[in-house]
Chains A and B, each alone.
Chain A
């Protein structure tokens, strides 16, 4: 996982797209802080109804601003945050330089993007909300999650033969 710059599928099959760039390793207890961030995040997902199949339908039917507002605001806050971290060279809490991986163009962003979009409108969920939906009392979504894991596996299996 050392080379992040080449996310090109053929060049670097090891690359993780959401990598852990921290040099120091973390214990089980150290990892619990990400669980806490996840808990807050899951609460926001459910309370803002981002996990609702109806909200996703409203978005794709252009009958509500809600989802556009959520994603748009999140991007603006994200852009400002990244800008501030870069400008003031903020360090992580363990004192490391923050790493920003570059994304490389590959055709999978088009083909895979379209496939995910089709699935998004059907399931009403991107991968994050799948976990929140299960927690929020929709056990049938566990099947969706298993199928998403299977989809990821099948992609891994056929990866070398797919256009990238």
Chain B
């Protein structure tokens, strides 16, 4: 059993489990599955600064902070107790493209070349951690949701604005991958 759980889980298992989060949260307490809102609640709780967007009863939404704390704990459990003994299998074409960019570490879930702690204060860290993170935080709130709130919750309830948002997420990702990343990697 542990051996089965340690292997990478196939897409259809993960897809079903993630999809079931929508009814689980609805039936447990009338909660809408959406993770980026947790970032707003953190702003509202810690630095509201009199901004109207952060003046609301965040305590009523505290469930979302419990949920994301759980995700972090789940990450610890999965990586400590259900460790995959093999290095991840990466599609050959993607690996070749990334090697051409100068990525050398394919041993884990994230390349140490970009997401190692020693790169935090480098130009790479500035782009991949600081600029990337800022775009994720600003963009998701501007769009009114992320992959969970729009692509999964919104589409589950057949909301066409969520379909539009999801299409824009994908378009942004393709532009970033094919046009921006080759430019960024030339900087190093």
Q: Which residues of A contact B (CB under 8 A)?
A: 1, 7, 13-14, 16-22, 25-26, 30-54, 56-61, 63-67, 69-79, 81-82, 84-85, 90, 92-94, 96, 98-106, 108-128, 130-141, 143-157, 159-160, 162
Residues of chain B touching chain A, judged by Cβ–Cβ distance below 8 Å, are 5, 8-40, 42-43, 47, 49, 51-57, 60-64, 66-79, 82, 84, 88, 90-94, 97-98, 106, 109-111, 114-117, 119-120, 125, 127-162, 164-178, 180-181, 184
Which of A51, A98, A126 has a CB less than 8 Å from the CB of B75? A51
Nearest A residue to B8 via CB reads A49
When the two chains form their complex, are residues A74 and B19 in contact, meaning their CB atoms are under 8 A apart? Answer: yes
A73 to chain B, nearest CB (A): 2
A60 & B173 in contact (Cβ 8 Å cutoff): yes
* Closest A residue, CB atoms, query B167: A113
Q: How far is the CA of A141 from the CA of B12 in the complex (A)?
A: 27
Q: Which 5 pairs, one residue from A and one from B, show the smallest C-beta to C-beta distance? A: A117-B172, A42-B74, A38-B70, A73-B15, A135-B75
Give the distance in Å from the alpha carbon of A59 to the alpha carbon of B175 in the complex: 13
Complex: A75 Cα to B20 Cα, angstroms: 10
Task: Check B39 against A58 for contact (C-beta < 8 Å).
Answer: no
Report yes or no: A128 in contact with B147, Cβ–Cβ below 8 A.
yes
With CB as the reference atom, state the residue of chain A lying closest to B145: A17
Complex CA distance for A90 and B42, rounded to whole angstroms = 32
Select A63's contact among B8, B91, B180, beta carbons within 8 Å. B91
Distance in angstroms from A8 CB to nearest chain B CB is: 10
Partner of B110, one of A42, A52, A112: A52
Contact: B70 with A126, CB < 8 Å?
no
Which residues of chain A are near B175, meaning CB under 8 Å?
114, 117-118
The reply to whether A112 and B70 contact each other, CB–CB distance below 8 Å, is no
